[in-house]
Amino acid sequence: MSEVSTIGLDIAKQVFQAHGADASGNALFRKRLTRAKLLEFFRSQPRCLVALEACGGAHYWGREIAKLGHTVRLIPPAYVKPFVKRQKNDAADAEAICEAAQRPSMRFVAVKDEAQQASGVVFRARDVLVRQRTQCINALRGHLTEYGWVVAKGATHVPTLIDQIEDPNCHLPESARAIFKVLIATLRSLEENIAVLDAEIRRRSKEDPIARRLMTIPGVGPITATAIVALAPPVETFRTGRDFAAWLGLTPLQKSTGGKQRLGATSKMGERTIRRLLIIGGSAVVRQACMRGAPEGSWLARMLGRKPRMLVSVALANKTARIVWALLSKGEVYRAPVVAA
């Protein structure tokens, strides 16, 4: 009997499915496992390649299985889907993972250690709180519209709105004001917690030498720099800066055929947090350039002369991503390009 060389593991909360294959790709076993017996099963298996989809819990199981001596590979779910045959179920998914892992051109995701995952928690938590703050603001604006109070969008107008609600001479019904005060209290609590997380991010950016080097790039602040350090995979994962920009989803989609190149909108694939922060930073740089003027003959000045501002912001985010890759791969700091006379 052939020895197992690759095991595809479809993970879940309680019930897992394993598919074993030999070096030729022939199926050796299909096994249903419970959470309590998973590590015991892999402890009894010969050392081999274990492949999982890069989804929730995958990094934890990757670390635990690697401790048993196995080689662990995480595969993006989008790369596994083409190998699923007909109906989708746990057994078919495990088989597809096993088959995808045996492809020589397959791309894998690096397994993160606990410290790397812990570094990313602050950004995930901050995103949740910011979304909740936006929900509270929109709720206030929406409910007050029913009473004829119309205010402009944006968080900068909220303090004025709160002052009007808390004014003793306010003509709103007392029963409605009591509910509005609950929303206001929730909003203030969220802002306090967001400020705590922002302070933590600024502290990390000052202590990390890589984050300090990244902050020399225009449009990259403490939040963006720390997010790149915490969430981006090792720079060696990408061959070029364009590969890093493509991983962030900042390159156009291709629908080329027949020798004709057709490029569409940005793909929006990859790490959403870093992509969003780079676009926000690019928008800030573009806004300053529109107010104060970009250097004559610079790339930014030429782009603003012929393209819409939002398109230039996304293009600048793409350019910044490539600069980030260059700085990380070469260990240098940003040097502004010299504009030709």
- pLDDT tens, residue by residue, 31-51: 999 999 999 999 999 999 999
pLDDT in tens, 191-207: 999 999 999 999 999 99
DSSP code for 257? B
Among candidate residues 275, 281, 254, 276, the one with its CA nearest the CA of residue 265: 254
pLDDT at 339 over 70: no
Taking 80 as the threshold, does the pLDDT of residue 2 lie above it? Answer: no
pLDDT over 90 at 20, yes or no = yes
With a cut of 70, say whether residue 69 has pLDDT above it: yes
- Spatial separation of the C-alpha atoms in residues 226 and 331, rounded to whole Å: 16
Strand duo 15-21 + 49-53: pairing: unpaired
Say how far apart CA 44 and CA 4 lie, in whole Å: 12
Residue boundaries of the structural domains of the chain: 6-101, 114-207, 210-330
Residue 144 CA to residue 165 CA, distance in Å, equals 10
Q: What average pLDDT does the chain have?
A: 89
238, pLDDT greater than 70: yes
Percent of the chain with pLDDT over 70: 99
Residue 338 confidence (pLDDT) above 70: no
DSSP three-state, residue 78? helix
pLDDT level of residue 262 (50, 70, 90 thresholds): confident
pLDDT above 90 covers what percent of the chain?
56
Q: Is the pLDDT of residue 10 over 70?
A: yes
CA distances from 123 to 194, 207, 224, 226 (A): 10, 17, 10, 9
Q: Which CATH superfamily is domain 6-101 in?
A: ATPase, nucleotide binding domain (3.30.420.40)
What average pLDDT does the segment 291-317 reach? 87
- Cα 339 to Cα 24: distance, rounded to the nearest angstrom: 58
d(CA 4, CA 17): 16
Distance CA 53, CA 301 (A): 44
- pLDDT at position 156, please? 84
Query: How many whole angstroms separate alpha carbon 20 and alpha carbon 98?
Result: 7
**Within a 10 A sphere around the Cβ of 274, how many other Cβ atoms?**
24
**Least confident stretch, 131-140, 152-161, 284-293, 326-335:** 152-161
pLDDT tier at 340 (50, 70, 90 boundaries)? low
Q: What is the mean pLDDT of residues 74-82?
A: 93
Q: Are strands 6-10 and 263-266 parallel, antiparallel or unpaired?
A: unpaired
Structure token pair of residue 53: 């989809």
Q: Is the pLDDT of residue 336 over 80?
A: no
pLDDT at 239 > cutoff 80: yes
